């Protein structure tokens, strides 16, 4: 099965109509929802970061709706990252100055799972050779 990881910025952009990436984030999420893009994996770290951001800056109801959308869509997989991803994230965080700790958890998970593609607007990932960042609703497997 073709899979990619999706970053917080895309999910926040979907939920926040005022976000500068809202329109393209909606296109990406819509394409994932409808099976036009690879299954998007959302780790517990991404879910935590996303739902907290939406809860704190928008409202609780919007955060709940976002969670339900991700949980109910056949295009998304919510999963709990392994403990070793956290440990490896610490090393990545220490190694790459521009990488936030949340982003380091994503990179560690992708490295362990051998996943290359990430839907993200965050160019900090570009320093990691094994990650190919996608900013548009393109399917890298076609």
pLDDT digit string (tens) for 68-86?
A: 999 999 999 999 999 999 9
Residue 13: which pLDDT band, with cuts at 50, 70 and 90? very high
On average, the pLDDT of the chain sits at 95
Q: Compute the distance between CA of residue 77 and CA of residue 62 in angstroms, rounded to an integer.
A: 20
The yes-or-no verdict on residue 137 having pLDDT over 90 is yes
The average pLDDT across 36-56 equals 95
Q: Is the pLDDT of residue 1 over 90?
A: no
Residue 131, classed as helix, strand or coil, is coil
| pLDDT interval class at 95 (50, 70, 90) | very high
| 86 touches 92 (CB < 8 A) | no
Q: Which distant-in-sequence residues (6+ apart) come within 8 Å of 116 by Cβ?
A: 110, 130, 131, 132, 140
- Look up the pTM and report it: 0.94
With beta carbons less than 8 A apart as the criterion, state whether 14 and 119 touch: no
Q: pLDDT at residue 142 above 90?
A: no
* Cβ neighbours around 102 below 10 Å, total: 19
- Reply yes or no on whether the pLDDT at 134 is more than 80: yes
User: Which sequence spans correspond to the domains of the chain?
Assistant: 3-134
Asked if the 3-134 domain carries CATH number 3.40.50.1010, the reply is yes
H-only helix segments in 19-139: 22-33, 44-57, 60-72, 83-95, 101-113
Mean pLDDT, residues 43-52 taken together: 95
Could you tell me if 131 and 116 are in contact, meaning their C-beta atoms sit under 8 angstroms apart? yes
């Amino acid at each position: 099965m073709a899979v990619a990881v999706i970053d917080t910025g895309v999910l926040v952009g979907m939920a926040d109509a005022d976000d500068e990436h809202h329109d393209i984030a909606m296109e990406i999420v819509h394409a994932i929802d409808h099976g036009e893009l690879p299954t998007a994996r959302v780790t517990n770290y991404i879910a935590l970061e996303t739902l907290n951001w939406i809860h704190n800056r928008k409202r609780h109801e919007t955060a709940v709706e976002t969670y339900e959308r991700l949980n109910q869509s056949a295009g998304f997989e919510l999963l709990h990252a392994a403990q070793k991803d956290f440990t490896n994230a610490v090393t990545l965080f220490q190694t790459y100055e521009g990488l936030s700790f949340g982003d380091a958890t994503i990179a560690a998970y992708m490295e362990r799972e051998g996943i290359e593609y990430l839907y993200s607007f965050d160019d900090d990932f570009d320093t990691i050779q094994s990650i190919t960042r996608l900013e548009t609703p393109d399917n890298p497997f076609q």
